[in-house]
Structure 1
Amino acid sequence: MAGRILTVAQQKGGSGKTTLAAHIAVALGRMSGLPVAILDVDPQGSLGTWFEAREDSLGEDATGLAFRTASGWGSRREARSLARDHGFVVVDTPPKTDTDAKPAIDAADYVIVPIQPTPVDLWATKQTIDLAARESTPALLVLNRVPPRASLTQEMAAAIAQSGYDALTARLGNRTGYAASMGNGQTVMEAAPSSKAAAEMATLIEELTRRIG
């Protein structure tokens, strides 16, 4: 049985897409015990740069992940090839372009859409949701970089529910630990395993794996 392909996509820039992709990949590997691969489809190559830092930090044989790159229509073929040998494949896509994101979304079992809790971000997310719908791929929103102002977050959660979009209840706070750990090729689960950020990621992965099976 092929593994699950999870494509992280968001047409709006600045959503924390690559950071979320890296954290999901590492957390899935640690919590599921299954082999995980990451596929960088973004021409900016941020996920690849993170993986190189990970190799430097942990050693080439200790990353816990397989890594590949692809572009355009090749991403669909590469994702499906990786899924034959891995329990999960996490794909990072470029913002603001349907051409490169579409094949990766088409290949996916689920699209994970990070969204900051602001009205502008919710409006901009419609483009990504529509793209997933055209490829008949279910999309799950993840509230990311959530500020401590509970009132705005609750308002946005209600707005998401009213929009009809499917979203995880687990949320990730606006914490410096996520970005700081990425600089060393790691994630918060490794750099700060006792932190609130690490606990948030564990909660998110528990909910995500329940949802995707």
Structure 2
Amino acid sequence: MSVRQSDSGRVLAVGSGKGGTGKTTVAAAIGYALATEHHRDIALVDFDPQGSLTRFTGQRAVADPLHAEPVEVHGMTLYRGGATLAGVSSAALGKHLARTMRPGRTVVVDLRPMLDDPGHAVVLAEARAFLLIVPELNPESIPETRKLAAMAEARGIGYRIVGNKEENRRPVKRALGFLQSGFGAQLSQTVIRRGAAVAEAHERLLPVTAYAPDSPPALAIRAIADELVAEGIV
């Protein structure tokens, strides 16, 4: 699929509908790959009250995420998360997203790990958005993946599914088979392998694509960034 990049920028939202899938790892790492290898103006936006993306980049959550000034991290602009995001309305979150946009910028949004929060509604109402769905490769992730894909289709938003934490175990292979049979062209041919480099990068507060760019997880994420650029999605 080829998506025309808007002059006012693009939104690349990263979600899963379930906690623990590694979507925040992917959001930080793909943002870094786009910034450093493809010379994109990248803003990372943490929609999660838990502030996982904020912590992963070595920052602290803020009391007022909707108005706090952004900070620079690893060559990207970060709009930090914080606990008060749990109670914000869709309208307020939409204004927050709008303030992150710039001409030519790609805004990478780390969504909350649930599907009924205002963040998903805001992103799916954004004509400039593309959704990266990151399920962990186990059978428990399949229902949320299907629901999130259906939400994107209902709003006419493009999406790509990227299987994460791939390894040579039967449940993992079965989950990947379900995704391959159910989604076809919407499923990336690149899967992200489980690897020690991810945990090591977290300990050092770095995207895995910065800490260990030639590790299997980072190579996969870099390849996905290449796909998105080649197809004109970002």
TM bin, normalised by shorter chain, reads 0.7 to 0.9
Deviating runs (4+, > 3 A) in structure 1?
69-72, 151-158
Q: Which amino acid aligns with 2:93?
A: S
One of 159, 175, 195 as aligned partner of 2:178: 159
**Aligned counterpart, 1:88:** 106
8 Å CA contact 2:41, 2:76 repeated in 1: yes
Give the Cα–Cα distance (whole angstroms) in 1 for the partners of residues 22 and 114 of structure 2. Answer: 14
Aligned CA RMSD, in angstroms, stands at: 2.4
Q: Which amino acid aligns with 2:181?
A: Q
One of 36, 47, 70 as aligned partner of 1:41: 47
Most deviating of 127-136 and 151-160 = 151-160
TM-score scaled by length of structure 2: 0.78
TM-score scaled by length of structure 1: 0.84
8 Å CA contact 1:40, 1:48 repeated in 2: yes
Mapping 1:101-116, distance limit 5 Å:
101-107=120-126, 109-116=129-136
Could you list the runs of 5+ residues in structure 2 that have no partner in the other structure?
1-6, 61-70
User: How many residue pairs align between the two structures?
Assistant: 207
8 Å CA contact 1:111, 1:140 repeated in 2: yes
**Aligned counterpart, 1:57:** none
Percent identical among aligned pairs is 23
**Aligned counterpart, 1:25:** 31
8 Å CA contact 1:25, 1:38 repeated in 2: yes
Deviation of the 1:115 alpha carbon: 1.1
Deviation digits for residues 126-150 of structure 1, max 9, x if unmatched? 222222233321221001011134x
Task: Pick the structure with more helix per residue.
Answer: 1
8 Å CA contact 2:18, 2:113 repeated in 1: yes
Q: Which amino acid aligns with 2:106?
A: F
8 Å CA contact 1:170, 1:207 repeated in 2: no
One of 5, 15, 21 as aligned partner of 2:21: 15
